Chain A
Amino acid sequence: MAKSFEVAIEDINDDSSKDNIESWDSLHHIMMIVALEREFNITVPDERVGNLISYKLIMSEINGI
């Protein structure tokens, strides 16, 4: 996430979301989805690509797959 959103890793925590990471726009969101898919060898279904807008939701997605 830190790399995708170009922020320090210390800035990522349980409460991180698109509401408090300024650079979390649609473009960086796509970068993050691509990074997730590559890192965890998963495919995020189209209907859920827009839902992963916080650290907790991302973790939930990864753990649920």
Chain B
Amino acid sequence: MVFDESIHGEFIDLYKVNITDAADIYRWRTSISGQYLNQPPGYTIESQEQWIRSRDDREMNYIIRDDEEKVGMISIYDVSYPVSNVGRLILDEKYLNRGTPYGLEALLLTYDYVFNVMDIPKISGTILGRNKKVFDLQKYLGMIQEGYLKNHVLLNGNLEDLYVMSLFREDFYKYAERINIILNKFR
């Protein structure tokens, strides 16, 4: 799979992650922003670098940038037609509650890229059972719940439930209209 190494939006741009981003990703994942992400035992900047080096051609990890500032990260991964995953969204905590829709536009850009550029008709992903905010947000973006997995993942020593969520291309473009209404109000 060949991905574009950058995607450009109104508020943000997405650029391919490289080794020099490891320290930033480590900082985000070990802050309050990373509370819903798994931290492997012995997680360090060096292991984050190793993780970046080990990525294969079935995924693309993007740094979210606002001009020159690194705001966060988002990924397209496990791409296998007709399904792709989008996730690993994390924002630097200093950019939370800033009023700029960094996370929302990162999701919209990657969803549009998967559906429109990669021509993949379905996006799937999982959300932690206790992460109600993201569950609500994704449903509002048009995702549907396809399953609920009890005690399915070990996260930082605790068994956690997962929602299995999917977004179909036709639903995304139908729901995108009202998201754009909201985005327009906040420009």
Distance between Cα atoms of A9 and B136 in the complex (Å): 21
From B98, B99, B137, B184, give the contact of A30 (CB < 8 A): B137
The interface size bin for chain B is 20 to 34
The answer for the CA separation of A18 and B101 in the assembled complex, in Å, is 14
A interface residues, how many (CB within 8 angstroms): 21
Interchain nearest-CB distance for B160 vs A (Å) = 22
Q: Does B181 contact A (CB under 8 A)?
A: yes
Q: Contact: B104 with A27, CB < 8 Å? A: yes
User: A10 interface residue, CB < 8 Å from B?
Assistant: no
* In the complex, per-residue mask of A39-65: 1 if CB is within 8 Å of any chain B CB, else 0: 000000011011101000000000000
CB within 8 Å of B: which residues of A?
A: 6, 18, 22-31, 33-35, 46-47, 49-51, 53
Q: Which residues of B contact A (CB under 8 A)?
A: 97-101, 103-104, 133, 136-137, 139-140, 177-179, 181-186
